[in-house]
Amino acid sequence: MVQEDVLILTRTSLQCRECKREYPTAFIYVCEECFGPLDVKYNFPALSRDTFAAREHTYWRYFELLPIEDKSNIISIGAGMTPLIKAENLGKKLGLNNLYIKNDSVNPTFSFKDRPAGVAVSKAKEFGLTAVGCASTGNLASATAAHAAKAGLPCHVFAPGNLEMAKITQALSYGAKYTAIDGTYDDANRIAARVGDREKIGVVNINMRSHYVEGSKTFSYEVAEQLDWDMPDHLVVPVGSGAMLNAICKGFEELETVSLLDDVSGMHITAAQAQGCAPIVDAFKRKSSDVIPVQNPDTVAKSLAIGDPGDGRYVLKRLQQYNGFAESSDNQEILDAILLLAQTEGIFTEPAGGVAISVLEKMVEQGRIDANDKVVCYITGNGLKATESIMSVLQKPSIIKADPGETITN
Ligand SMILES: Cc1ncc(COP(=O)(O)O)c(C=O)c1O
Ligand SMILES: [Zn+2]
């Protein structure tokens, strides 16, 4: 028994991304030496492809690759193992023979944020914290609040005041204590950081960030498994803070470490942002490693409206490492791309997904992607959360009299 306890408790440590100093796992997130972010480091057990095959259909099937020590602390609402769809119709339109959509719009709270939020809330429980929270551009609010509800913990949400009504309604329904800030996401982030430290709240994307980002790695594990343990050639990823893109890279690299994939170094990644809030794309195009914050983001893709991206610098490093690209799209292009995906593949996404599809189109036009490349485009949120903006480009339904003799006009 004692032996087993020792083994379990040393499964992870924390390591500074900058100076590489290591720390025992604890409720900390920055290096006391250099203030760099701390990442989770693992002592992986031996794994084979068969380890996962017969397990539950959620991202918790990859337990050994996630930072929870004791399974009894897992808070699951059934997220993950979302469909990886071969997009034949959209592929034909774009001239791609091997296009796949990773459809995270069908997670329990209808965005990919169920991945990082679920892991962070589970870890908060493991740390013995008595409250959780987040700074949110909309989707994280519901993902955190839903997992907090399942865990029986209070959840404090800090978000800019201009979010879509569906996202606010959803988070409030899960019981979130919701504070709308008269300002930007970056203002909300600063307030959440202060309150979190003062009140010992596990703010999932701030003081729990080391564990939070681990959840998004499951995007890579699932894609690899769904491709029968093969690597995609090119990933298109919508980017706000950059945490997800970084985590996706870490996920593929860990699969190589545990010998579930061969060499992942040949993949390419495109970072997709919205014009009106594209500080990472701007730095990439200037060939600079300096991300200059956008003071007042202005885009229909509110979930990506992060003017001062916490992981921006690391996204640029990843793009360099994987011969990647960065591109942005304007509001009209984003909304058109939402309709293109809906009308070719039957998948209804919110503007963040429109950004990904629109930038994918641009990558093909610019000759960055070959017709036979195996491409995975990440669709990270559901269109039902942003109907106000999407409706603005749709033809209103025609109204006829309730008379069987009436003719249809459209
Ligand atoms: C739907 C959706 N897609 C993508 C992102 C970007 O994720 P990240 O901030 O980790 O770059 C977000 C962030 O809130 C989001 O809500
Ligand atoms: Zn350090």
Dump pLDDT digits (tens) for 139-153: 999 999 999 999 999
pLDDT at 9: 55
d(Cα 373, Cα 221) in Å, to the nearest integer?
20
Contact 47, 258 (CB under 8 A): yes
Find out whether the beta carbon of 279 lies less than 6 Å from any atom of ligand 1: no
The pair of structure tokens assigned to 16 is: 């500074």
The answer to whether residue 144 sits within a structural domain is no
d(Cα 274, Cα 358) in Å, to the nearest integer?
10
* The model's pTM: 0.96
On whether both 30 and 93 belong to a single domain, the answer is no
Find out whether the beta carbon of 329 lies less than 6 Å from any atom of ligand 1: no
Find out whether the beta carbon of 240 lies less than 6 Å from any atom of ligand 1: yes
On whether both 302 and 356 belong to a single domain, the answer is yes
Q: Minimal CA–CA distance to 185: which of 121, 215, 141? A: 141
pLDDT for residue 2 is more than 50: no
On whether both 33 and 98 belong to a single domain, the answer is no
pLDDT for residue 409 is more than 90: no
Domain count, the chain: 2
Find out whether the beta carbon of 205 lies less than 6 Å from any atom of ligand 1: no
On whether both 38 and 89 belong to a single domain, the answer is no
The answer to whether residue 261 sits within a structural domain is yes
The answer to whether residue 360 sits within a structural domain is yes
pLDDT at 1: 37
pLDDT at 352: 98
Tell me what the mean pLDDT of segment 199-221 comes to.
Answer: 98
Q: What CATH number does residue 242 fall under?
A: 3.40.50.1100
On whether both 18 and 106 belong to a single domain, the answer is no
Tell me what the mean pLDDT of segment 203-231 comes to.
Answer: 98
Mutate to test the pocket of ligand 1, among 112, 170, 313, 341 (most ligand atoms within 8 A of CB): 112
The boundaries of the domain holding residue 278 are 84-110+213-391
Tell me what the mean pLDDT of segment 91-107 comes to.
Answer: 98
The answer to whether residue 95 sits within a structural domain is yes
52: number of Cβ within 10 Å:
18
The minimum-distance atom of ligand 1 relative to the CA of 216 is: 10
Confidence bin at 365 (pLDDT 50/70/90): very high
On whether both 304 and 225 belong to a single domain, the answer is yes
pLDDT at 51: 93
Find out whether the beta carbon of 248 lies less than 6 Å from any atom of ligand 1: no
On whether both 276 and 332 belong to a single domain, the answer is yes
On whether both 23 and 93 belong to a single domain, the answer is no
The answer to whether residue 225 sits within a structural domain is yes
Mutate to test the pocket of ligand 1, among 114, 137, 355 (most ligand atoms within 8 A of CB): 137
Edge-first strand order for the sheet with 234-238 is 84-86, 98-103, 374-379, 234-238, 268-274, 325-329
The strand pair at 177-181 and 98-103 is best described as unpaired
Confidence bin at 47 (pLDDT 50/70/90): very high
d(Cα 212, Cα 39) in Å, to the nearest integer?
10
pLDDT for residue 117 is more than 70: yes
Q: Minimal CA–CA distance to 263: which of 226, 216, 319, 224? A: 224
Say if residue 231 is exposed, middle or buried (CB neighbours under 10 Å; 0-12, 13-18, 19+).
buried
Q: How many whole angstroms from 259 Cα to the centroid of ligand 2?
A: 28
On whether both 106 and 16 belong to a single domain, the answer is no
Ligand nearest to the CA of 19: 2
pLDDT for residue 350 is more than 60: yes
pLDDT at 4: 43
What is the chain's mean pLDDT, rounded?
Answer: 96
The answer to whether residue 378 sits within a structural domain is yes
The answer to whether residue 162 sits within a structural domain is no
Find out whether the beta carbon of 239 lies less than 6 Å from any atom of ligand 1: yes
On whether both 36 and 91 belong to a single domain, the answer is no
pLDDT at 407: 76
Could you report the per-residue pLDDT of 144-185, keeping only the tens digit for each?
A: 999 999 999 999 999 999 999 999 999 999 999 999 999 999
The answer to whether residue 288 sits within a structural domain is yes
Half-sphere exposure of 335 (CA within 13 A, CB side): 14
